Structure 1
């Protein structure tokens, strides 16, 4: 078709790549006579196309090409809504898209108006018997997440598209879930865990700074990763954190976190922007900003997990397996961790 050339030109235009999808659509429609749906399918592939590109070995990700129907199209519109109007992060949109793919397969209806109590009961039964890519049954948390996405999708159809005959989202009950048992480290155990990095090396100083900051502030992993050197203010003992949707908040630091961060930054010989970096030997030869040296999420995850695993091998009184358990006690150090009033808030 005639829009293929324009699509190729747009894809090869680097100055357009940072624009959100809805700006792509408006820009494209200005020069090409296409319907909104056709343009959306160029820049926002339909869910059915996305599903067909998934790994065929995963039965939960397989979808018949014939499922390009009213329900699939409504889900496409919802994805565009999340990106253009709700300004959801790319990771959130990707998670919603995967969940909608699964729901499209399991619901067994071609129109959102056909979703009723019987369909929901059948869906919950299928979720109960579904298995993840690893072959293990879906956890209660995962199943409830899919139901939450379905509720949000139906609420969008009711409130934003004002569609009649939509099943009430609040009538969809989640699976019952046991209360989470939070494991708490004793003061001496926490101190021993935080002293585990070898601070005679630059990497050890970095790991200790990560651990101290992570445990004293309770930052999300993505927030900790996105920190830059300029976000630190040692005079006021605070750090500016970019949270969800780019919102910035101020977090106060404990004395131990400040000392560890100072030692780490003094050991660095570069002027790169990211606070936590990898390959510090090579980084000192690189000009700013040096985003390619920023530690990845999995690298930070591995730092905490490695020290937690060593902590377990050395004889912890609790059965700790790594990052998840450590994350459960971050920010809970309180006064016993030499934190001031601000750090405990």
Structure 2
């Protein structure tokens, strides 16, 4: 997990320890650990670009607010700006990191002071009657697997 750029700072060392905690004690998936490392590294890089020291006490409400403004202006997929949902993932990773620090007796910004961005609820799309019929009639009944698939679909629909 160690990253030489991160290890040159207090925050970097704690992020490495936090990622190890996620892996060993929490049993988080490798993708979660990868994503959290990405989000927290983006914070460190942004702090460097702003001349903000890499100390835990330097993560305060003003720094978090400025970081969120920075995230809101970053490009996302294609030419559009980063979505509020993706911005939220960064905030979730930061809040989780701060909670871990507090659990380990570090005096840092309370994660409860950082609100998650409001995001639109995902719209659930339902199949219409014709689509359900096509789905139910898709399995080939001449094979055992087809009969199994048909039974599963009948139970689901």
* Alignment TM class, shorter chain as reference: 0.7 to 0.9
Please state whether the residue corresponding to 2:127 is helix, strand or coil.
Answer: coil
Residue pair 2:19, 2:33 contacting (<8 A) in 1 also: yes
**Aligned mates of 1:68, 1:135 — CA distance in 2:** 34
- The Cα of 1:68 is off from its aligned counterpart by 2.4
Residue pair 1:75, 1:153 contacting (<8 A) in 2 also: yes
Of 138, 141, 151 in structure 2, the residue corresponding to residue 256 of structure 1 is: 151
CA separation of 1:201 and 1:128: change in aligned 2, threshold 3 A: farther
Query: Which structure 2 residues correspond to residues 1-345 of structure 1 after superposition, within 5 A?
Result: 44-46=1-3, 48=5, 68-108=8-48, 109=52, 110-132=54-76, 134-159=78-103, 161-164=104-107, 166-196=108-138, 199=140, 256-257=151-152, 338-339=154-155
Asked which structure has the greater CA Rg, the reply is: 1
Q: Which has the higher helix share?
A: 2
Quick one: higher RCO (CA 8 Å, sep 6+), 1 or 2? Answer: 2
RMSD: 3.0
TM-score, normalised by the number of residues in structure 1: 0.39
- The Cα of 1:194 is off from its aligned counterpart by 4.8
Give ranges in structure 2 of 5+ residues lacking alignment: none
**Aligned mates of 1:179, 1:256 — CA distance in 2:** 32
**Aligned mates of 2:84, 2:132 — CA distance in 1:** 30
Give ranges in structure 1 of 5+ residues lacking alignment: 1-43, 50-66, 213-254, 258-336
Aligned residues: 152
